Amino acid sequence: MPAPTASLRFSSVVTLYRLGRVALWLALGGLLVACGDKPAPPSAATLQQLPDDSELARIYDSSCKLCHANPASGAPLTGDIQAWRPRIAQGADTLLDHSINGYNGMPPMGLCMQCSEEQFLGLIRFMSAQDLQ
């Protein structure tokens, strides 16, 4: 009778060993996923900010905010420097062209039919939190 008990103990140890290894691999995998260097999205407070200029604040609130403060829209979020960096690298002329003529999902004139080029550039500076080149 001692043989079945030893066999039972051995199989329990093997099972625990295997479960421990699986748990270890899952934990390591979870840590690797958490190590991504994707920055956190802008805070809700950042998305609620308005430009200091009252006219730009009015335009941003009525035209830009609909998409640029909504993560589901696919537009670069206001204050998300990482999302805006490749766009800013394209230069002010390209960004102005995209604002006026539309680009991908962005409607022409960004829903601001009365905006001037200077206003578009000011709004881009505000949303990107970066100087234009």
∠ Cα 31 32 34 (to 5°): 65
Q: Which two tokens stand for residue 57?
A: 């604040």
Is the pLDDT assigned to residue 100 strictly greater than 90? yes
Whether the CB-CB separation of 60 and 51 falls below 8 Å is answered with yes
Give the pLDDT confidence of 53-64 residue by residue, as tens digits: 999 999 999 999
Angle subtended by helix axes 81-89 and 117-128, to nearest 10: 140
Mean pLDDT computed over 64-85:
94
pTM for this prediction:
0.67
Whether the CB-CB separation of 55 and 100 falls below 8 Å is answered with no
HSE-CB for 72 with a 13 A CA cutoff: 1
